Structure 1
């Protein structure tokens, strides 16, 4: 009986380490793709290290606003954003137009910014999650 329990534990550790490796690989691949999207679309306003422009464009680096609500971040990339927002205690009131990105590009760029510059997301954003939020907007 003791041997069965030991084998079960070893098997469980093996399977979980494989699962974490697969998730890490998927996140890295998504972040690599997202970096390209970020450089092409987002960097003009939020700058190279996600620092934004003080009092003009909010930071994405160490951003309480970005990290608080993944659905809101997805919606912002789909619909754009206008009106006042407070990021890290500073108010911003500019217009961010809709990005026109597809669901995979939105997932990738969010995985990049939500896991860069001092940000660490609890979960990976998936294409399916973006599609779900998009469907709820219709």
Structure 2
């Protein structure tokens, strides 16, 4: 009985102390929304719809969902040259926003889980962002 009580107490303590992924993702998305508002909204718009033939959409974007490493690379280092998003070609420069790895992860988590996008609750981490190089 004492062992069972000790085990249950340990489980309750761990669940209160250790963050679960859903909570971590939600906090990252909240930070990412702020970063998006400060850095991305002028071109990609409030609902991620972009500007036709000028700035690609982030909402329901095949580019983001199929090639997240390339999206991380674009956010981390900027982007020049043509890309295809949802069947349309965009050839405009995106400057490097000067975000650190956690900020890039946060904005990726926000855009991958907003406006009809779904990452199936997969968390992008600063470590994953750090693994993305400038010329992949």
- What is the CA distance between 1:90 and its match in structure 2? 1.1
Partner SS, residue 53 of structure 2: coil
Match of 1:40 among 26, 29, 38: 38
Identify which of 19, 22, 25 aligns with 2:20: 22
Give TM-score scaled by structure 1 length.
0.80
User: Runs of 5+ in structure 1 lacking a partner?
Assistant: 1-13
- Match of residue 71 from structure 2: 73
What is aligned with 2:126? 127
Partner of 2:8: none
- Please state how far the C-alpha of 1:49 moved relative to its aligned partner: 0.2
RMSD, aligned α-carbons: 2.2
Q: Secondary structure at the match of 2:43?
A: helix
- Bigger mean CA deviation after superposition, 43-52 or 76-85: 76-85
Out of 91, 94, 106, the position equivalent to 1:93 is: 91
Query: 1:8-66 CA distances to partner (integer Å, 9 max, x unpaired)?
Result: xxxxxx9xxx6xx8111000000000000000000010000000001110000000011
Among 93, 98, 106, the alignment partner of 1:108 is: 106
| CA–CA separation in structure 2 for the residues paired with 1:115 and 1:70 | 12
Work out the CA distance in 2 between the residues paired with 1:24 and 1:62: 22
Q: In the alignment, is residue 31 of structure 1 matched against residue 29 of structure 2?
A: yes
CA distance in 2, matches of 1:60, 1:70: 12
How many corresponding residue pairs?
121
Secondary structure at the aligned position of 1:91 is classed as strand
- Point out 4+ residue stretches in structure 1 off by more than 3 angstroms: none
Unaligned residue ranges in structure 2 (runs of 5+): 1-10
